[in-house]
């Protein structure tokens, strides 16, 4: 066998295993959630009643879907101006300077911090600050969780969009400059239009990260199993309720938690799908 064939074999084998792993995950999630959907039907998704008491068991995923979406969208909105400025700073205005290298290193460092550390920092620093400002019940809640999530996802959006912005061909920019465009105009008319698909991909990646984040959220969101009554009220997220309740769950409850896992999987898939569509449209 020549090296070409071996490479092809190794690559196909790797991809094949990946397909099997993904299919296996979907299969076990679907099989596990069948009892929950059989009992509650599609009401499971829209019911906001989560009562694990023996005898009147009733499970609905709405509080967790709402908590996850609200906190993640809020986190994305908060992180947007920060990561957008940072990526322009790194990829355009101060490209290649020492300041940019240090900032880029710090941003990458943010991605490497374990989420439990973010959670602890949020618990001991951010939460007392919230109490000081009089926000929410005792500083816990969806808003506090969103703030932490926003900080956690900044590196994903920043790094990716920075790379793409830095890759915009200089010829294009120089052509614009030669026509008398200012720096801001170059960014508006050349840099962003040619980098937008990459920038959006970065935000979608970071949004996906926010959807699945567990530890930091569970330490700050308040873990009350109801649809949050305000941005500053307490709630719970899908990943967090699974992590919290899985250990002691059996029967219908276990199945409901797996069903929430399946829904989270689907939501993430839909978000990624929409992202791909947007990118395709814009190209």
Partner 1 sequence: MRKLLTLVLAVALLSSCSNSSKKTTEGKAVDLTAAGATFPLPFYNMVFKQYGEETGSTVTYGGIGSGGGIRSLKDQVVDFGATDGYLNDEQLTEMPGEVLHIPTCMGAVVIAFNIPGVDSLKLSNDLLEKIFMGDITKWDDIQITSNNEGVTLPAMDITVVHRSDGSGTTQIFADFMTKISEKWASQVGVGKSLNWPVGMGAKGNPGVAGTISQTAGSIGYIGSEFAFAQKISMAKVQNSAGNYVLPTIETISAAAQGEIPADTRIMLTNSSDPASYPISGFTWLIFYKDQAYNNRSEDQAKQTVDLLKWMVSEKAQNEAPKVHYAPLPAAAVEKAKAILSTVTYNGNPL
Residue 53 or 283 having the CB closest to partner 1: 53
User: What's the min distance (Å) between Cβ of 237 and partner 1?
Assistant: 11
Residues between 196 and 225 with contacts to partner 1, criterion CB under 8 A: 218-219, 222-225
Rounded to a whole number, what is the largest CA-CA distance in the chain? 76
Axis-axis angle for helices 251-282, 62-88 (nearest 10) = 40
Residue 206 or 240 having the CB closest to partner 1: 240
Residues between 55 and 94 with contacts to partner 1, criterion CB under 8 A: 55-56
Q: Is 235 helix (H, G, I), strand (E, B) or coil?
A: strand
Task: Give the number of residues written for the chain.
Answer: 283
The 104-123 site mask, x for binding partner 1 (CB under 8 A), equals: -------------------x
Q: Is 215 helix (H, G, I), strand (E, B) or coil?
A: helix
79: left (phi over 0), alpha (psi -120 to 50) or beta: alpha
Which one of 10-18, 144-152, 186-194, 243-251 is the stretch in contact with partner 1 (CB under 8 A)?
Answer: 243-251
Residues between 160 and 199 with contacts to partner 1, criterion CB under 8 A: none
Neighbours of 104 (CB within 10 A): 20
Which one of 8-16, 86-94, 136-144, 155-163 is the stretch in contact with partner 1 (CB under 8 A)?
Answer: 136-144
- Out of 44, 64, 140, 156, the only residue in the binding site for partner 1 (CB under 8 A) is 140
Which one of 6-14, 47-55, 86-94, 181-189 is the stretch in contact with partner 1 (CB under 8 A)?
Answer: 47-55
- Beta-carbon contacts of residue 247 (< 8 Å; ≥ 6 apart): none
- Out of 7, 12, 15, 28, the only residue in the binding site for partner 1 (CB under 8 A) is 28
The rounded distance, in Å, linking the Cα atoms of 156 and 101 is 16
Residue 4 or 250 having the CB closest to partner 1: 250
Number of H helices, E strands in the chain: 13, 0
Q: Is 222 helix (H, G, I), strand (E, B) or coil?
A: strand
- Report residue 182 as tokens: 């200012």
| Chain residues that interact with partner 1, rule: CB under 8 A | 28, 31-32, 49-56, 123-124, 127-128, 137-138, 140, 218-219, 222-225, 234, 236, 240, 244-245, 247-250, 258
């Amino acid at each position: 066998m020549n090296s070409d064939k071996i490479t092809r074999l190794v690559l196909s084998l790797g991809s094949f295993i990946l397909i099997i792993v993904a299919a296996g995950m979907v299969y076990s999630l679907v099989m596990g959630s069948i009892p929950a959907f059989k009992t509650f039907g599609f009401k499971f998704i829209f019911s906001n009643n989560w009562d694990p008491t023996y005898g009147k068991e009733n499970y609905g995923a709405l509080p967790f879907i709402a908590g996850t979406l609200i906190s993640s969208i809020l986190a994305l909105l908060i992180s947007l101006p920060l990561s957008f400025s940072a990526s322009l700073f790194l990829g355009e205005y101060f490209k290649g300077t020492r300041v940019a290298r240090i900032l880029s290193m710090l941003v990458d460092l943010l991605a490497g911090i374990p989420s439990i550390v973010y959670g602890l920092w949020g618990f001991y620093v951010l939460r007392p600050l919230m109490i000081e400002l009089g926000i929410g019940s005792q500083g816990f809640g969806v808003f506090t969780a969103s703030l932490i999530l926003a900080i956690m996802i900044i590196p994903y959006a920043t790094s990716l969009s920075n790379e793409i912005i830095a890759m915009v061909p200089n010829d294009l920019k120089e052509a614009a400059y030669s026509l008398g465009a200012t720096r801001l105009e170059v960014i508006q008319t050349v840099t962003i239009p040619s980098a937008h698909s990459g920038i959006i991909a970065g935000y979608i990646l970071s949004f996906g990260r926010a959807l699945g984040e567990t530890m930091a959220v569970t330490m700050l969101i308040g873990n009350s199993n109801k649809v949050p009554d305000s941005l500053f009220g307490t709630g719970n997220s899908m990943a967090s309720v699974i992590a919290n309740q899985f250990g002691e769950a059996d029967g219908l409850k276990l199945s409901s938690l797996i069903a929430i896992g399946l829904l989270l999987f689907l939501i993430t898939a839909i978000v990624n799908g929409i992202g791909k569509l947007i990118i395709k449209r814009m190209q």
